[in-house]
Chain A
Amino acid sequence: MSNAKAKPLGLVFFPAFDWAISPTHPEREERLLFTRDQVLEEGLLDLPQIREYKPRLASIADLERVHIGVPDIASLITDAHRVSAGGAITAAESVLRGETAKAFALVRPPGHHAMRVVHGTRGFCTVNIEAVMIESLRRKYGLRRVAIVDTDVHHGDGTQDIYYHDPDTLFISFHQDGRTLYPGSGFPNEAGSPAALMSTVNIPLPPGTTDQGLHAVLDELVLPMLADFQPDLIVNSAGQDNHYSDPLANMAVTAQGYARLAEKLRADVAVLEGGYSIEDALPYVNVGIILAMAGLDYRRVLEPDLDRAPVQSAATTAYIGKLIADWQGKWANREQLRRSALAAAGNSWKRERDIYYDDSQIMEHQRESIHYCPHCPGYMAISTESSGSRTGDKSAFAVVLQQESCLVCRERGKDALIKAKRQRDHQYFVLQDKKEDSCGRI
C-alpha cells in the first residue's frame, strides 16, 4: 500500500473524443467513453495517489526523430497523432522529472504497428508513440538502456522494426501467434539483426491463453530477462486486447490478469495500445492497471461477466511451458549467438520485405542495409517503394546516421545518399541524422 508521501502515478488520459479512423472503425470516438465513465465513477481522479496531466502536442521534429515519412510525416498524420505521442512524452517526463513514481499514458490513437518508414496507416497506427517518447527521452535525459514489454495481443511489429538493430533497446512482445492473427509476424526467429541479436524477443502464444499462461511467461521469462538487461527505463505497450471479450482476438486474459501484470512488471511508463472490447473489458482493465500502477488495491476490480472467461487447456499449458524453456535456453546463450551472427554477417547485413498498410491499402517494398564499422554502430540505408496510395506511387532512399556513428561512417552514409540521388531511381532522398537530431530531404 502506498502512503500519502509516496509519489503519485502520473496519468495522461486522452480519449480523443473527436477523432476516428472512420465512423464504424474500431478506432473511433467511443473507444474510451466507457473507460472514462468507469474512471470517473470510481473517483480515481480524486485520489492523491493519482495525478492527471494534460498531454502536450508532439512536434514534427519529435516524430521525425523516429520516422521517415514518405513524402513526409506531416502529410500522413492528423493532430490526434501529435496529441497521443505528446501524451506519452508528457507521461514519461513526469517520471523523469521526479514528480511521479510511474506514469500511464491512457491515450489514443495507438502506435505499435507504425514502423520506421511510414507511407500510411497500418494496424490503426501511423506514428509509433512509444518510440517517439523513448527517443525524446534519450535526447533530453540521456537515457540509454530501455526495455519495452509489449502486452498487446497483436505483435508489436512497428516497435520491433524501429529497434531491430539497436542493442540498447530490449523489445519483448508476447502476443497471439502470428499464424492466427494480424499482423502475422512475431515469431521467435525474429530476434534482431546481428549486432542487436536477442534484443528482440518474440513469444507467440496460442489462442486461448489465460492469466495462467500469461503469468507463467511473465514470471519465468520476461521478469528474469528484464533483471538481466538492467534497463534505465521500462516501457509497457499496454494493449488490452488479450482480454477474453475482445472482438478482434482469441485470448482469455482478465482484468485481474492485466492488473497483476502491471503490478509485477513495475513499468516506469505504460502506454495504451489496442483493446477493442470497449464496454466489457476496457473499463475494468484500465481501472485495474491504474490502481495497480498507483500501488492501490485492485483485487475487487472484476468484470460482471467474469464467469464466462475460459479456462486454459492442458495442451496450451504444455505448449507455453515448452516455449518458455526454448527461450530460456536461447537467452542464456545470447552473447555467443550475437557474436557468431556478427561474424557471419561480415561488413554488412541486408533484408528485403513487403509491408502492407491495411488501413491505407498501400503495399510497400523495402530494402534495408546495415553497414558495420569496427569503431561505431555504422550507418543504415533504406530503399522504399510503395503502391496503392490515393496520392500515387512513391519511393524514397534514406540514410540513417546514428548518434555515435563515426566521422568515416557519417561521410560514407552521406556519399551513399548523394550517389543514390544521382542515379534518380527514387523520388525522395532523406537523411535522418540522430547526432544532429535532424531529418530532412536533400
Chain B
Amino acid sequence: MLVGIDVGGTYTDAVLLDAGKVIRQIKVASEHGQVLASILTALDEILQGIETQCIERVALSTTLVTNAIVQGKLDPVGLFIMPGPGADWRGRLAAEPLVLSGYVDHRGRERQEIALDEVKQTCKKMAGVKLFAVSGKFAVRNPAQEQKVAGILAAAMQPLHIACGSTVSGNLNFIRRTNSAYYNAAVWQRFQDFADAAAAALAERGVQAPILILKADGGTLPLAKARELPVESIFTGPAASVLGVMGLCPPAKPAVSLDIGGTTTDIALWKGGAPLMDAKGAAINGYLTAVRTFRLHSIGLGGDSWLRRDGDRLLIGPERKGSAMALGGAEPTVTDALIVAGLSDFGDRGLAEAAIQRLVFPGKSLQETAQVIIDQAAEIVANAVREMLAIEAAAPVYKVEDIVRPELLRPELLIGVGGGAAGLTPLIAEKFKLAWQVPPLAMVANALGAALARPTLHISLRADTAAGEYTVPELSLRLPLNDRRYSIQQAVKQAALHLQEMAAAAGITADEIETTFGEEFNLVRGFSTVGKIVHVGVQIKPGIIAGLIDAAATGGAGT
C-alpha cells in the first residue's frame, strides 16, 4: 500500500492506495506552522486499522521549506562567490556574499587562480557559522575552484553543510545557482530536524517503508538523498496536483490542466503526455533560483474567492475571507454561486442562496446572478490560459527550423482537478470549445500525485573534445576524454551511466532514462575543425510509478 500526504497552507490531504485503487482519502485542517504535526494527524487517521507492515512507501509533499523561506526562518550562511569579471550581481543575490578572486571562463578554463590566503582570511570573519554556500561563475564548466574553496572550508570551519552552486544545478546562470546554493544551506538544518523527526515518528508507528520527499519538479527523492537537496522541496503543492493529473487521467493529446483550489488556480500545459517544465527555475522571495519546477501559471481565483459588488461591477477574489457561506463562512464565495447555479452539491443550499442574494443584480433572478458570477470567474481563468498559451507561442527559439516550422501547442483537452474543478471546468472549456474532463478523486489529486510520484534525478554532461575532457557538474566530475568524434549518442550513453551510478547510490532504480536536451557544435579554428562541443541532459523519467485502475472511467467529462 502507498501513502501520499500533501501538507497545504489550509488543508492536509492524504490518500491510501492499494493495488492501483484509492482505498481511503482524508482531508484535515493543517496545524498552523506545524508541518510534522499535520503529517502525523493525517497519517494516524488514514492508517487507522491498517497493518503498518503493508505500507510500501510514504511520500510527503510539504510546505516546510517554503514556509521557512517565506517566514525568513533561515540560518546564517557563509556565502562565497567567485563572480569574475562581467555583469553586476549586486541586488540579485538572496544574501550578502563574500567575494573571492579567481574565475573560470565559458570553456571552463581557469583564467585566474583562487587566492588561498584570501579564503583563509575570509574564514576568520565567519567564526561560528556552520553552513556555507560556494558559487563560481561558469563553475558548471569547471567545478574545481568551487571544490577547492569547499575543501578549505571543510578543513577550517567544521561545517554542517557546504552547498556548491554547480552541484545544486548544472545549468548556466550564475545568479540562479548561487541563490539555490544559498537557500539550500539556509534551510539545511531545519530540513535535517524535520527528516529526523519524521523518520522517528514513522518508526514509532511501526512504519518501515521508505519515506520519499516530493520535489518542485514533480519527482521524489528518498529521504536520505532529499537531505542533501532540501531546496528542491519548495512549492511542491502545485507539482503534486500536476502529478495527480498524470495518475488520474494522463492526457494523450496536447492539454491544459487546471488545479482549482480554495484561493488559487494553477494552470499547467501538457505536450506529448507530459507537463511542460520551467527550464530556468523558480523565484523564491523575489530572488531567482535554479530549482526546476513545472511551468505553472498561478492566478488568485478559487472556490473560496471573495465575491462583492463595487457599484455595478462584480469583484471576484483574489482575497479569501474564509470558507463558503454554505459551509458556515461569513462572506459570499464562488462556491456559493456554484451551489446556487446547481453546479456543486454540498453544504447548506439555503446559506448559499443567502450569500448570492447579497449580490443580486437589479432585474436578475438569484439563478441568473449566480450564472453571471461563475461566467465571470470562468472568464478570468480562460484569460489566464490564453495568456499562458500566448507566452508559450512567443517563447524565443534559437534554430531556423523552429521558426519556420514551429511546434505550436494547440490544446485539445481541458482537465480540471481541485475543489472548484467540477463546477468551473465545463464553463471554461466552453469558452475554448474544448473537450473537458474532471476525473473522480479530483479533490485529492495533490495527495495522489505525491503517493504516485516517481523518484527522479537529472544530470548534464558537456564534452569538449578540443580540450579533451568532459564535465558532469552535478557530480563535480571533470574527466579526460580522448575521442575527437564523440557523438551526442555517446554522450547520452555516458551520462546515463553516471546517472545510474548516482541513482544506485541514492537507492533509486533508474529503469527509464530520457534525454532532456542535446546539442552538438563543431569547434572550428582557422578554417579547420579542431573538436566538438557535445552537451546533453538526461533524467530518470518523471511521472507516476503506476496508473490508477479505472481512474478515468467515471467522473465528469464532456465536449
Closest to B521 in A: A30
| 8 Å CB interface, A14-53 against B | 14-19, 23-24, 28-30, 33-34, 36-38, 40-44, 46, 52-53
Residues of B within 8 A of A12 (CB): 396
Closest to A12 in B: B396
Residues of B within 8 A of A195 (CB): none
Contact A46 B288 (CB under 8 A): yes
Q: Which residue of B106, B176, B280, B398 is within 8 Å of A283 (Cβ)?
A: B106
Q: Does A287 sit at the interface, judged by CB under 8 A?
A: yes
Residues of B within 8 A of A79 (CB): 400, 403-404
Q: Does A296 sit at the interface, judged by CB under 8 A?
A: yes
* CA gap between A28 and B528 in the complex, in Å: 12
Q: Does A413 sit at the interface, judged by CB under 8 A?
A: no
Contact B523 A30 (CB under 8 A): yes
Contact A43 B138 (CB under 8 A): no
Q: Does B397 sit at the interface, judged by CB under 8 A?
A: yes
Q: Which residue of A15, A41, A57, A279 is within 8 Å of B138 (Cβ)?
A: A41
In order of increasing CB-CB distance, the 10 nearest A-B pairs are A43-B175, A304-B111, A40-B172, A302-B85, A42-B87, A18-B399, A297-B88, A41-B172, A37-B106, A30-B521
Contact A83 B529 (CB under 8 A): no
Residues of A within 8 A of B404 (CB): 57, 79, 83
Closest to B173 in A: A43
| 8 Å CB interface, A212-269 against B | 247
* CA gap between A279 and B467 in the complex, in Å: 14
Q: Which residue of A23, A38, A54, A80 is within 8 Å of B396 (Cβ)?
A: A54
Q: Which residue of B87, B111, B521 is within 8 Å of A300 (Cβ)?
A: B87
Closest to A40 in B: B172
Known A33-B533, A41-B137; judge A18-B401 contact (CB<8 A). Answer: yes
Residues of A within 8 A of B533 (CB): 30, 33
Residues of B within 8 A of A297 (CB): 87-88
Closest to A304 in B: B111
Contact B86 A300 (CB under 8 A): yes
Question: How many whole Å from B125's CB to the nearest CB in chain A?
Answer: 24
Q: Which residue of A14, A23, A28, A34 is within 8 Å of B398 (Cβ)?
A: A14
Residues of A within 8 A of B105 (CB): 304
Q: Does B383 sit at the interface, judged by CB under 8 A?
A: no
Contact B176 A29 (CB under 8 A): no
* CA gap between A55 and B175 in the complex, in Å: 27
Residues of A within 8 A of B173 (CB): 40-41, 43, 46
Contact B528 A42 (CB under 8 A): no
Q: Which residue of B87, B400, B524 is within 8 Å of A30 (Cβ)?
A: B524
Contact A43 B403 (CB under 8 A): no
Contact B521 A18 (CB under 8 A): no
Q: Give 1 or 0 for each of A278-308: 1 = CB within 8 Å of chain B CB.
A: 0100010001000100001110111010000
Contact B403 A287 (CB under 8 A): no
Residues of A within 8 A of B521 (CB): 17, 29-30, 33
| 8 Å CB interface, A169-183 against B | none
Residues of B within 8 A of A52 (CB): 396
Contact B106 A34 (CB under 8 A): yes
Q: Does A13 sit at the interface, judged by CB under 8 A?
A: yes
Total CB contacts across the A-B interface at under 8 A: 114
- Known: A41-B106, A298-B87; 14 extra A-B contacts, CB below 8 A, are A13-B398, A19-B400, A24-B522, A24-B524, A41-B173, A42-B175, A43-B87, A43-B174, A43-B175, A43-B176, A46-B176, A83-B404, A86-B403, A296-B88
Closest to B140 in A: A41
Q: Which residue of A42, A53, A54, A80 is within 8 Å of B400 (Cβ)?
A: A80
Would you list 22 pairs from A and B whose C-beta atoms are within 8 A, ordered by A residue?
A: A16-B400, A18-B399, A24-B529, A28-B524, A29-B521, A30-B521, A30-B522, A42-B86, A42-B174, A43-B173, A43-B288, A44-B87, A46-B175, A46-B288, A54-B394, A54-B396, A54-B397, A57-B403, A287-B86, A296-B87, A297-B87, A300-B85
* CA gap between A419 and B106 in the complex, in Å: 61
Residues of A within 8 A of B112 (CB): 304
Contact A300 B88 (CB under 8 A): yes
* CA gap between A304 and B173 in the complex, in Å: 19
Closest to A291 in B: B87
Known A30-B521, A42-B174; judge A83-B400 contact (CB<8 A). Answer: yes
Contact B280 A46 (CB under 8 A): yes
* CA gap between A296 and B399 in the complex, in Å: 29
Q: Does B395 sit at the interface, judged by CB under 8 A?
A: yes
Closest to B171 in A: A40
| 8 Å CB interface, B376-401 against A | 394-401
* CA gap between A302 and B86 in the complex, in Å: 7
Q: Does B56 sit at the interface, judged by CB under 8 A?
A: no
Binding site for A on B (CB under 8 A): 85-88, 92, 105-107, 111-112, 137-138, 172-176, 280, 288, 394-401, 403-404, 519, 521-524, 526-529, 533
* CA gap between A252 and B521 in the complex, in Å: 28
Contact A24 B106 (CB under 8 A): no
With most chain A CB atoms within 10 A of its CB, the pick from B395, B398, B527, B528 is B398
Q: Give 1 or 0 for each of A51-80: 1 = CB within 8 Å of chain B CB.
A: 011110100000000000000000000111
Question: How many whole Å from B176's CB to the nearest CB in chain A?
Answer: 6
Residues of B within 8 A of A279 (CB): 106-107
Contact B398 A301 (CB under 8 A): no
Question: How many whole Å from A217's CB to the nearest CB in chain B?
Answer: 27
Known A23-B522, A24-B529, A57-B404; judge A17-B106 contact (CB<8 A). Answer: no
* CA gap between A42 and B396 in the complex, in Å: 18
Question: How many whole Å from A99's CB to the nearest CB in chain B?
Answer: 12
With most chain A CB atoms within 10 A of its CB, the pick from B106, B112, B401, B522 is B106
* CA gap between A317 and B450 in the complex, in Å: 70
Residues of B within 8 A of A14 (CB): 396, 398, 403
Residues of B within 8 A of A37 (CB): 106, 172
* CA gap between A83 and B88 in the complex, in Å: 32
Closest to B403 in A: A83
Residues of A within 8 A of B519 (CB): 17
Residues of B within 8 A of A33 (CB): 521, 533
Question: How many whole Å from A147's CB to the nearest CB in chain B?
Answer: 29
Residues of A within 8 A of B394 (CB): 53-54
Question: How many whole Å from B130's CB to the nearest CB in chain A?
Answer: 29
Residues of A within 8 A of B528 (CB): 24
* CA gap between A52 and B394 in the complex, in Å: 10
With most chain A CB atoms within 10 A of its CB, the pick from B176, B522, B524, B527 is B524
Question: How many whole Å from A71's CB to the nearest CB in chain B?
Answer: 23
Q: Give 1 or 0 for each of A1-17: 1 = CB within 8 Å of chain B CB.
A: 00000000000111111
Question: How many whole Å from B329's CB to the nearest CB in chain A?
Answer: 38
Residues of A within 8 A of B175 (CB): 42-43, 46
Contact B524 A16 (CB under 8 A): no
* CA gap between A38 and B137 in the complex, in Å: 10
Contact A16 B399 (CB under 8 A): yes
Residues of A within 8 A of B529 (CB): 23-24
Residues of A within 8 A of B280 (CB): 46
Contact A301 B87 (CB under 8 A): yes
* CA gap between A78 and B400 in the complex, in Å: 10
With most chain A CB atoms within 10 A of its CB, the pick from B88, B523, B529, B533 is B88
Closest to B87 in A: A42
Closest to A28 in B: B524
Contact A29 B522 (CB under 8 A): yes
Contact B400 A18 (CB under 8 A): yes
Question: How many whole Å from A318's CB to the nearest CB in chain B?
Answer: 33
* CA gap between A304 and B399 in the complex, in Å: 29
Contact B396 A53 (CB under 8 A): yes
* CA gap between A74 and B401 in the complex, in Å: 17
Question: How many whole Å from A229's CB to the nearest CB in chain B?
Answer: 33
Residues of B within 8 A of A78 (CB): 400
Residues of A within 8 A of B138 (CB): 41
Question: How many whole Å from A29's CB to the nearest CB in chain B?
Answer: 6
